[in-house]
Amino acid sequence: MLFRNRFLLLLALAALLAFLSLSLQFFHLIPVSAPKNGASSKSRKRIMPDPVMEPGVPGPIHEALLYCNIPNVAERSMEGHAPHHFKLISVQVLIRHGDRYPLYTIPKTKRPEIDCTLVANRKPYHPKLEAFISHMSKGSGTSFESPLNSLPLYPNHPLCEMGELTQTGVVQHLQNGQLLRDIYVKKHKLLPTDWSADQLYLETTGKSRTLQSGLALLYGFLPDFDWKKIYFRHQPSALFCSGSCYCPLRNQYLKKEQHRQYLLRLKNSQLEKTYGDMARIVDIPTTQLRAANPIDSLLCHFCHNISFPCTKNGCIDMGHFKVIKMHQIEDEKERREMKLYLGYSLLGAHPILNQTVNRMQRAAEGRKDEIFALYSAHDVTLSPVLSALGLSEARFPRFAARLIFELWQDREKPSEHSVRILYNGVDVTFHTSFCQDHHRHSPKPMCPLENLVHFVKRDMFVALDGSSTNYYDACHMEVV
């Protein structure tokens, strides 16, 4: 009897342990040991469904919630995973700014009341928020290229200005920074203990929300935030193409893509009816409402849990919101199929990918400067880069989205370097067009740097179906 009871107890205990270890692994509380060699990271990937890359449409509300990216603690992340004989050489991070106030207002309605001052004991919280506010309020000295000097270092209006970063946006990037610090600084010792300004490369567009997002991320990331070691360069173009922005073919692709969007919209009678309804509620012509890009403002209401605007004629409601959001999802689907956006993206993303690859090559040659790069940017920056890399299934960049390029060196063969690409913490390396076939043909567990280099320096133009093998020729081809 006693023996049998003990046996049952052991059985129960074993079951409990199995369950615990499974759930702990699921939440990444215990690191999944990296495969030694041969075993591909693909087999690891199959254990879990992959929410970033999984096609299929779970619905407009689900999509909208992912877009908001409301800060919470349980984030899964695959950054910094590699077989143990690989050494991390450099990391480049391309971010979208965090949660912001709308860029447009819906005419004749009250704009959402959101407080853009930072208050440490107001939600959403972050343990470093208070120190961030105090550090930023002391001013920066000369850490920025003109005209960035004229921008405020943190959001500070009791009623947000148009496009201003919110406290949510700051917290999202403090969280990104802290996560990357735990992995890259603490675990992989990417920065030497006596690191200096040379080890960082920082670039941002000239909007306060991108500069402030970059500062929040760095504040979470750096072991010590010393203004003397910070220098942000200014990027005038949202495509990060300064110096090589002139590209007639890219503009032609964009025009055709916009025409495709227009035709799709005309076909959607439910969408037309919804805009008509909303225009009646707000009491303006439908064309004027459409021009005010109401979804941007409605998303702000949605992400901040503020009810949609009302007038004496009625209220804009969740039904309207769902129809417009659903149309966006369908638009993205057709965009992938028609490939016009791909043409635009290959040309639009080349300059920043070229820059990224050049920086990797220098690091692979052993240079120790610029081992951490941060590009603080917009959805219109990330979206073409994702598309150009062949990540067409990737979701539209949410607030505070991050795309990361890691460079690794094989300690057993020091001349060999590999890249990993991560989007919002998910390893998408083997979904890219330059490494998706790698697994099937190679015993190596990592994607070779050369694959990315050849793609950016040449193959991405071949993918345009022309005869060009470089950016300047490709930009001046005729549309086929």
Ligand X SMILES: *[C@@H]1O[C@H](CO)[C@@H](O)[C@H](O)[C@H]1NC(C)=O
Binding site for ligand X (CB under 6 A): 244, 305, 350-351, 354, 358, 471
Long-range contacts of 233-237 (CB under 8 A, 24+ apart): 233/145, 233/201, 233/202, 233/203, 233/204, 234/144, 234/145, 234/146, 234/147, 234/148, 234/203, 234/204, 234/205, 234/206, 235/203, 235/204, 235/205, 235/206, 235/375, 235/377, 236/205, 236/206, 237/205
Report the Cα 80 to chain-centroid distance in Å. 17
Structure tokens belonging to residue 224: 């010590």
Euclidean distance between the first and the last CA atom of the chain, given in angstroms as a whole number: 82
Does the annotation count 97 as an active-site position? yes
Does the annotation count 81 as an active-site position? no
Whole-angstrom distance, CA of residue 304 vs CA of residue 7 = 53
Whole-angstrom distance, CA of residue 192 vs CA of residue 474 = 41
Q: Identify whether the C-beta of residue 223 lies closer than 8 Å to the C-beta of residue 185.
A: yes
Strand intervals (E) in 28-187: 86-96
Cβ proximity to ligand X, 238 vs 284, nearer residue: 238
Residue 164 CB, shortest distance to ligand X, in Å, is 21
Q: Which residue in 379, 439, 454, 459 is the catalytic one?
A: 379
Q: Which helix (H) or strand (E) holds 462?
A: helix 460-462
Which residues make Cβ contacts (< 8 Å) with residue 267, sequence separation at least 6?
A: none
Closest CA to 350 of 431, 250, 432, 444: 250
Whole-angstrom distance, CA of residue 421 vs CA of residue 341 = 21
Structure tokens belonging to residue 239: 């495509």
Cβ proximity to ligand X, 287 vs 358, nearer residue: 358
Residue 349 CB, shortest distance to ligand X, in Å, is 11
Residue 316 CB, shortest distance to ligand X, in Å, is 16
The 3-state DSSP class for residue 201 equals strand
Q: Identify whether the C-beta of residue 298 lies closer than 8 Å to the C-beta of residue 324.
A: yes
Residue 456 CB, shortest distance to ligand X, in Å, is 8
Q: Identify whether the C-beta of residue 395 lies closer than 8 Å to the C-beta of residue 66.
A: yes
Q: Identify whether the C-beta of residue 81 lies closer than 8 Å to the C-beta of residue 274.
A: no
The 3-state DSSP class for residue 420 equals strand
Closest CA to 331 of 271, 286, 289: 271
Cβ proximity to ligand X, 183 vs 241, nearer residue: 241
Residue 125 CB, shortest distance to ligand X, in Å, is 14
Q: Identify whether the C-beta of residue 201 lies closer than 8 Å to the C-beta of residue 359.
A: yes
Residue 235 CB, shortest distance to ligand X, in Å, is 13
Residue 352 CB, shortest distance to ligand X, in Å, is 9
Structure tokens belonging to residue 458: 């040449």
Q: What are phi and psi of 255, to 5 degrees?
A: -60, -45
Whole-angstrom distance, CA of residue 411 vs CA of residue 443 = 17
Residue 471 CB, shortest distance to ligand X, in Å, is 4
Cβ proximity to ligand X, 213 vs 356, nearer residue: 356
**Residue 147: cis peptide before it, omega within 30 degrees of 0:** yes
Residue 112 CB, shortest distance to ligand X, in Å, is 13
Which residues make Cβ contacts (< 8 Å) with residue 21, sequence separation at least 6?
A: 30
Whole-angstrom distance, CA of residue 129 vs CA of residue 120 = 6
Q: Which residue in 97, 173, 320, 350 is the catalytic one?
A: 97
Active site residues: 97, 379
